[in-house]
Chain A
Amino acid sequence: MGTAVEKDNMFSDSDEVLIGLEIHVQLTKLKTKLFCGCATDYRGKEPNTYVCPICLGLPGTLPVVNKKAIDFAIMVGLALECEIPSKTFFYRKNYYYPDMPKNYQISQYNKAGGVPIGLGGHVTIEINKQKKTINLTRIQLEEDPGRLTYLGSITSSDYTLVDYNRAGITLLEIVTEPDLRSPREARLFLQKLRSIIEHLGVADGSLEGSMRCDANISIRGGNRVEVKNISSFKAVQKALQFELIRQRRQKADGVKTVMETRHWDDEKGITISLRTKEEEHDYRYFPEPDLVPIEITPDWIEKIRNQMPELPDARRERFIRDYQIPPYDAGVLTSSKALADFFENCIKLYNHPKIISNWIMSDLLRHLNDLNIEINESTVTPEQFVNMLKYIDTGTISRRSAKKVLWDMIREGKPPEQIIQEDGHQRIGDENVIRQFVDEIFKEYPQAVQDAIKDDKAINFLSGQVMRKTRGTADPKITYQLIKEKIDLLRKKAN
């Protein structure tokens, strides 16, 4: 599995990579499904709990469109700079699968008279300090199928278990042009996309399975391989990395890459060729006769535009402007809504944006990355974070101690007060206590004492040793003062 971390440019640069993504985003902020009134918060619930005759596709049932889904889709289209058509339609995509209750999916289509809810569009990402535009083909609405589980693996199971809780949930499909040039770019794109989606308030990307991705990847001139079953954005870079290396190796060995669909196995970290029966993908698209066309007026679009929340790019500019933090930092802070919100919530409690920003950038994020969790998966709240900073200000803990306190806060999930008390990070402000440490150091380092008598600069060394001995908790000012007093005394005696 070590292959996943190998660098992108392992082989020759002339092997240009073409990656296109097809992303499915659940609009999790909708309370009900796309075509019926069933609730959508199915995660963690018993199977087949949020199911009704309509989403179960019982004979005689009919779909009715959730207006808010259209509002949300238009909003996403605007944020992604798509062209919103004046008329859009739902189509049937006919195929048979046990997770599709009607054995057709109500979706949208961009041919045979069909018009999806957003055409074109683009997303700007920053890579290697340069801006890059990733073009989109279209965005469209469709219903999510149910979930299949197996006893064991898909190939060994005797039967399939179906849960229809998810059937009928609103999906927004976003399709990119093959403009991405590396697995890393793909990850950055997805990160940006997620940030935009979350800033719009239409979906919560941290929910399991709420953002899924299929990828198409090829080496220029070679055959395109579709990779399916990538169920989290995190896995996308890994999957693409694996597939890229696999294709490059094939090319180097003179083997032609087969044009096929491969399945990503997240556990094993490999893509597998699914040896399915030669299946004709004739979806026989035709307009959904049970639904009527949707006319999107300029008024409607304006209304949505006026209600649009602040987008990541605008927020980034505001951070730079209002908080005077560097562009790079602003970019990192707005790369996720949760992080940007955390940042601004901290500022509300403690109006020192630059300090907060520094602490987030240098310490908080590093720890989160080490633990491979996101800000909203950690227990650290803005209140706790800010309290920690305030303890530094009041001198209760030193800056150095604070770094350890933060690490403990994240790892153990405790508030700063508790950690400071338990681990003895409390800064020592008592002169008598510090004097004892100073005396000890003077005994341990006689040569340094002599150096200090000759030159004040060497006091720093002694000071440093006191800090070391007290694990950074001795008040530095008092420490320095005490040492200087003692040195001055010794200097006088010598002279």
Chain B
Amino acid sequence: MASFYELTAYELHSMLQNGDITAEELIYSLFDRIQKTETKIKAYITLLKENAINQARLLDKKLRNSNFFGILAGIPIAIKDNICTKNIRTTCSSKMLDNYVPPYNATVIERILAEGGIIIGKTNMDEFAMGTTTESSYYQITHNPWSLEHVPGGSSGGSAAAVAADETILALGSDTGGSIRCPASFCNITGIKVSYGSISRYGLISYACSLEQIGPLTKDVRDCALLLNVLVGRDPYDSTTLNRPKIDFLATLDEDIKGLRIGIPKEFMGTGTAEAVSKAVWNAVHLLESFGVTYDEISIPLIDYAVPCYYIIAMSEASSNLARYDGIRYGYRVEKDEGEWNEIFAEDRLAFGPEVRRRIMLGTYALSAGYYDMYYLKALKVRTLLRNQFEAQFKSYDIILGPTMPTTPFKIGEMISDPLAMYRTDIDTVAANVTGLPAISIPCGFSDGLPIGLQLIGNSLQEELLLRVAYKFQQETDYHKKKPPIGG
């Protein structure tokens, strides 16, 4: 009999509704679990046990005395530490925001709270979401529950590890260049980056505005759909959100996938892709084929340029987004009172880690006079072309498929000293960010005990289709059901 903390949100929802378990019991169960495993995983920066218990008690009372039963009622959820939570420390895993306490909630948080969700903690990440392994965190290294010597992926590594280790039922992450999907792949869980503009960014501490989206990290596709029902929708506080018609993502999950057409770009299966990964992906393709799905090998040549295109745009926007951190209104400020503005500004910014400082500098360079056309504007044109190529393919295919990451998880310390090598590993994920298209990662196998992720990319606003195919895959496989050994 599974412990409560091992269950999914969907399962717990009916149990809570039936009274089989109270919200308070669930919280206690979860925190017992956290106590046992967190010293090994180190997924959390801030744990909110007392807060969670109080919320749970209030909710239990509400559930007993009224008809209220929100979609997330009583469900514990972990939040990546770049999403603002009112009166709760939010650090972006950076010394710069070590003591920052936002006076407001991100819109996604308001939505979660309105549906009865219980926030149990803030999770570790790469500093300011810049990274692929969560190693650049100021605070701690998060360990992959599947192998403690390996990274959980990044930048939402803490959230993914927490879900994989059953240290939370649901989690939120953010995805700028693969930061939800990569850790989902490395930790054997499900994660989705929605079409750009589908989920509000208000309250997401910005890294690269035109590329990033908040999204769910969950144990399975059904939980993903559940959480999307809460998060997706226009927000008057975010001018870049779309006016999407309201959809119930759960309702269409088990519709038939027969006749759907899959395109597999050869650029996703290039020489950098590990053999085991390639094999697992092809096994998955053949399994889907057995459900009546057809596939073709295709070519999207601009994928080979997606990584430099992504980094130029991301770093340029980041250099501007991070300019506000001068230590005057919040954040790290050097103690001394003397000193002139520019001097203090630069000293305060020593609180940024090396990767952040490098990206700010490169972004500044790309936008600077004389280089703006060469880098930034050029990248924006490549972006258009990449988008056009994907759209052309979507005329003939419903889904574009490939591995989420070219390899299984790296060892801790393996990539961190070679930034350029690290950037290149984003080859499979960045195209979806640059084009704004939705993409999901689901578990599809193991190699030497390390997880492999399958990525499905859809046309704009076609999350339903992705969820449907992913759901069918999870009905017929049990990769996602496996639990990690957690170093023991």
Query: Measuring CB to CB, which residues of chain A are less than 8 angstroms from any residue of chain B?
Result: 53, 56-65, 92, 94, 96-98, 101-104, 112, 158-160, 162, 277, 282, 284, 286, 289-292
Nearest-CB residue, chain B, relative to A280: B369
* A59-B206, A63-B239, A98-B341 known; A103+B323 contact, CB < 8 A: yes
* A96-B323, A284-B372 known; A58+B330 contact, CB < 8 A: yes
Report if B320 contacts A (CB, 8 A): yes
Task: Tell me if A59 and B84 are in contact (CB < 8 A).
Answer: yes
A286: chain B residues at CB < 8 Å are 316, 320, 367, 372, 376
Report if B245 contacts A (CB, 8 A): no
Nearest-CB residue, chain B, relative to A112: B372
Q: How far is the CA of A104 from the CA of B237 in the complex (A)?
A: 20
Task: Tell me if A160 and B368 are in contact (CB < 8 A).
Answer: no
Task: Tell me if B376 and A282 are in contact (CB < 8 A).
Answer: no
B92: chain A residues at CB < 8 Å are 59
Nearest-CB residue, chain B, relative to A97: B341
Q: How far is the CA of A102 from the CA of B328 in the complex (A)?
A: 11
B338: chain A residues at CB < 8 Å are 158
Task: Tell me if B239 and A290 are in contact (CB < 8 A).
Answer: yes
Nearest-CB residue, chain A, relative to B211: A289
B203: chain A residues at CB < 8 Å are 60-61
Query: Measuring CB to CB, which residues of chain B are less than 8 angstroms from any residue of chain A?
Result: 83-84, 90, 92, 97, 100, 102-104, 106, 201-206, 209-210, 236-240, 316-317, 319-320, 323-324, 326, 328-330, 337-338, 341-342, 345, 364, 367-369, 372, 376-377
Task: Tell me if B201 and A58 are in contact (CB < 8 A).
Answer: no
Q: How many A-B residue pairs have CB under 8 A?
A: 102
Task: Tell me if A104 and B323 are in contact (CB < 8 A).
Answer: yes
Name A284's contact: one of B102, B238, B367 (CB within 8 Å).
B367
Q: How far is the CB of B354 from chain A (nearest CB, A)?
A: 21
Q: How far is the CB of A462 from chain B (nearest CB, A)?
A: 78
Nearest-CB residue, chain B, relative to A288: B209
Main secondary structure of the interface of A (DSSP, over half): loop
A101: chain B residues at CB < 8 Å are 324, 329
Task: Tell me if A61 and B240 are in contact (CB < 8 A).
Answer: no
Task: Tell me if A59 and B328 are in contact (CB < 8 A).
Answer: no
Q: What are 25 sample pairs from A and B whose C-beta atoms fall under 8 A apart? A: A53-B103, A57-B324, A58-B104, A58-B330, A59-B90, A59-B205, A60-B83, A60-B84, A60-B106, A61-B202, A61-B203, A62-B239, A64-B236, A94-B367, A101-B324, A102-B323, A158-B338, A160-B341, A282-B368, A284-B372, A286-B372, A289-B210, A289-B317, A291-B239, A292-B240
Task: Tell me if B202 and A96 are in contact (CB < 8 A).
Answer: no
Additional A-B contact list (20), CB under 8 Å, known A96-B326, A284-B364? A57-B329, A60-B203, A61-B203, A62-B237, A62-B240, A63-B239, A64-B237, A92-B320, A102-B324, A103-B326, A104-B324, A112-B377, A158-B337, A162-B328, A284-B320, A284-B372, A286-B367, A286-B372, A289-B240, A289-B317
Nearest-CB residue, chain A, relative to B366: A284
Q: How far is the CB of B427 from chain A (nearest CB, A)?
A: 24
Q: How far is the CB of A439 from chain B (nearest CB, A)?
A: 82
Q: How far is the CA of A60 from the CA of B106 in the complex (A)?
A: 8
Task: Tell me if B324 and A103 are in contact (CB < 8 A).
Answer: yes
Task: Tell me if A59 and B102 are in contact (CB < 8 A).
Answer: yes
Q: How far is the CA of A57 from the CA of B206 in the complex (A)?
A: 11
A284: chain B residues at CB < 8 Å are 319-320, 364, 367-369, 372
Task: Tell me if B329 and A59 are in contact (CB < 8 A).
Answer: no
A94: chain B residues at CB < 8 Å are 320, 323, 367
A62: chain B residues at CB < 8 Å are 201-202, 237-240
Task: Tell me if B323 and A59 are in contact (CB < 8 A).
Answer: no
A56: chain B residues at CB < 8 Å are 329
Q: Could you say which of B239, B326, B342, B364 has the most chain A C-beta atoms within 10 Å of its C-beta?
A: B239
Task: Tell me if B328 and A98 are in contact (CB < 8 A).
Answer: yes
A96: chain B residues at CB < 8 Å are 323, 326, 341-342, 345
A282: chain B residues at CB < 8 Å are 368-369
Nearest-CB residue, chain A, relative to B369: A282
Task: Tell me if B368 and A104 are in contact (CB < 8 A).
Answer: no
A59: chain B residues at CB < 8 Å are 84, 90, 92, 97, 100, 102, 205-206, 324, 330
